[in-house]
Structure 1
Amino acid sequence: MPLDLELQDVHVLITGASGGIGLETAKLFLKQGAKVTAHYNSNSTTLRSLESQFPSTQLFSVQAELTSESSIESIFASARAYFGLEVQILVVNHGIWPSQDKMIWEMELEQWNRTIDVNLTASFLISKHFLRSLAKDEVKDEVKMNANIVFVGSTAGRFGEKGHSDYAASKSALMYGLVLTLKNEIVKIASQGRVNCVAPGWVRTPLAEEALRDPDVVYRALATTPLKKVATTYDTAMQIVLLSSTKVSGHVSGQIVNVAGGMEGRLLNKPEDI
């Protein structure tokens, strides 16, 4: 029998739920009996597999552009109307990673602004409206008992990532500035509210598969990783679900859980560079 994390009928909103980590996270929450609002930006095709496995009373899919504050407001309004319950757990999983390597002196301001807007500003907006929805007078204390946010960061936010300063900066801001501040603010609304972060390294998602076909990419990714393997989406998603559970993580807040096989840093130089 699977471990009961006491998430039955708890309302969870997952941003970027149609991607690899988001989809796996949604599936694990649904298996725990949670009510899941699954956000997607443009393509909901992958969510159909969940719709065929779980009843409509458990799963609600919603499209939104998360850099738009009015779109975010509509997510919470429609999710509340669908389930008749405020969102209690927020998983901030969405994000973009521009694939072309660009040193900072080569990077256009347009790329920098877009990455910061999607990865950081949109995370601020969704967190703001999540907490605002819980702060309403009519929200009962028992609804707030499970209140928490789990952000999805990255090893890029811890170690940096050459050629991707925009992405690394956005993830650092989430992992350190936002998490460590919001853990102190959420308790003003929900006395037992928590905020944490999961920080994966390389993960075998559909978007990463092409890069991981290159042996040099795999070597450089694993050169400082004791476990010598690339994570699965399950590895990351399970940590998200465990952190969100008040039953098993009720006294854990302000933490960054690195899901990266023990990675110690980046391999910066090839032999010919030395």
Structure 2
Amino acid sequence: MDLELKDVHVLVTGASGGIGLETAKVFLQQGSKVTAHYNTNSTTLEPLLTRYGQTQVQALQANLSLETDVARLFSVASSSFGPVQVIVVNHGVWPSTDEPVVQMSLDQWKNTIDVNLTSSFLVAREFLRGLQGAPEDVKAYASIVFIGSSSGKFGEFGHADYSASKSAMMYGLTLTLKNEIVKIAPKGRVNCIAPGWVKTPLAEEALKDPLVVYRALATTPLKKVGLPSDVANQIAIIASQRVSGHISGQVIMITGGMEGRLLNLPEDIQP
């Protein structure tokens, strides 16, 4: 299906791995001009650069926790492909070690909030600032797609920092910005895609543990872990003005129908 995204300038943050890389591929297949952001490693983006060429895709580095880097990212991206029309705010960090709040350091808490939430604010703010002076035909495609998490809805033991950062993005930030973006771009929309467990390189090691898989699927009717394409396809659909032009302020859960967390195994419950 043609989502009418051809030549629309899409910036995908965290595009070098997992969901971000698949998302960049989907937009390129739709004919979009893609700015693929990375922080430290761009090697996974090289096949896309070779296949699609510099007239359709560019890979740009930035530390999104720094205001100056975010401003530079948008400036360089726009100088090549024109004003950014769609942003997919996908970057983030998930500390792999379980750290209950009682044990969590302030440094870990602050770092996770900065990387996941504050940097997302900076990206969204710079996007909106760029839209202010853009032509109306550019503004007509304006869309922000945040990438949240099932953790933001259900919480996650040992990862309060991550859960809190995603909850703030999914609800406070999304629901506020959908009211603000229309003051700049009347057709502008803000939505959030919230995946559960997804088979990405970062999740690969954890998903080797049968107990992790069991807990992930125990309340999931579809009984399977998602693929990056499951998420990326929904991102492109919600970004499309043609098929999703009347959808804004929504959090779409891509979780296989998950109903919540499995908290206790039989041996955890005392008679």
Which SS does the other structure have where 2:59 is aligned?
strand
Q: CA deviation at 1:55?
A: 1.9
Which SS does the other structure have where 1:61 is aligned?
strand
Deviant stretches of 4+, over 3 Å: none
Q: Work out whether 1:24 is the aligned partner of 2:22.
A: yes
- Number of matched pairs: 269
Q: Work out whether 1:110 is the aligned partner of 2:107.
A: yes
Q: CA deviation at 1:234?
A: 0.1
Q: CA deviation at 1:52?
A: 2.0
What does residue 82 of structure 1 align with? 80
Which SS does the other structure have where 1:208 is aligned?
helix
Tell me the distance in 1 between the aligned counterparts of 2:221 and 2:57.
Answer: 38
Which SS does the other structure have where 1:179 is aligned?
helix
What does residue 120 of structure 2 align with? 123
Structure 1 unaligned residues grouped into runs of 5+: none
- CA offset digits 1:30-66 (Å, max 9, x no partner): 0000000000010001001211221210001100000
Which SS does the other structure have where 2:205 is aligned?
helix
Q: Residue type of the partner of 1:119?
A: N
Instruction: Work out which of the residue numbers 61, 64, 67 in structure 1 matches 2:62.
Output: 64
Q: Residue type of the partner of 1:132?
A: R
Tell me the distance in 2 between the aligned counterparts of 1:227 and 1:172.
Answer: 24
Tell me the distance in 2 between the aligned counterparts of 1:114 and 1:188.
Answer: 32
Q: Work out whether 1:174 is the aligned partner of 2:169.
A: yes
Tell me the distance in 2 between the aligned counterparts of 1:91 and 1:163.
Answer: 27
Tell me the distance in 1 between the aligned counterparts of 2:11 and 2:31.
Answer: 14
Tell me the distance in 1 between the aligned counterparts of 2:157 and 2:88.
Answer: 27
Tell me the distance in 2 between the aligned counterparts of 1:151 and 1:81.
Answer: 24
Q: TM-score, normalised by structure 1?
A: 0.98
Which SS does the other structure have where 2:200 is aligned?
coil
Structure 2 unaligned residues grouped into runs of 5+: none
Q: Residue type of the partner of 1:135?
A: Q
What does residue 218 of structure 2 align with? 223
- CA offset digits 1:146-189 (Å, max 9, x no partner): 00100000000000000000000000000000000000000000
Tell me the distance in 1 between the aligned counterparts of 2:49 and 2:86.
Answer: 20
Q: Residue type of the partner of 2:108?
A: Q
What does residue 157 of structure 1 align with? 152
Tell me the distance in 1 between the aligned counterparts of 2:54 and 2:212.
Answer: 41
Q: CA deviation at 1:98?
A: 0.1
What does residue 88 of structure 2 align with? 91
Question: What percentage of residue pairs aligned between the two structures are identical?
Answer: 64
What does residue 44 of structure 2 align with? 46
Q: CA deviation at 1:261?
A: 0.1
- CA offset digits 1:102-150 (Å, max 9, x no partner): 00010000000000000000000000000000012xx210110000100
Q: CA deviation at 1:227?
A: 0.1
Q: TM-score, normalised by structure 2?
A: 0.99
Tell me the distance in 2 between the aligned counterparts of 1:148 and 1:188.
Answer: 13
Q: Residue type of the partner of 1:66?
A: L
Tell me the distance in 2 between the aligned counterparts of 1:92 and 1:78.
Answer: 18
Tell me the distance in 1 between the aligned counterparts of 2:244 and 2:267.
Answer: 47
Tell me the distance in 2 between the aligned counterparts of 1:263 and 1:38.
Answer: 31
Q: CA deviation at 1:228?
A: 0.1
What does residue 3 of structure 2 align with? 5
Q: Work out whether 1:36 is the aligned partner of 2:31.
A: no
Q: Residue type of the partner of 1:98?
A: P
Q: Residue type of the partner of 1:153?
A: G
Q: Residue type of the partner of 2:38?
A: Y
Q: Work out whether 1:267 is the aligned partner of 2:262.
A: yes
Tell me the distance in 2 between the aligned counterparts of 1:232 and 1:45.
Answer: 21
What does residue 205 of structure 2 align with? 210
Q: Residue type of the partner of 2:47?
A: S
Q: Residue type of the partner of 1:252?
A: I
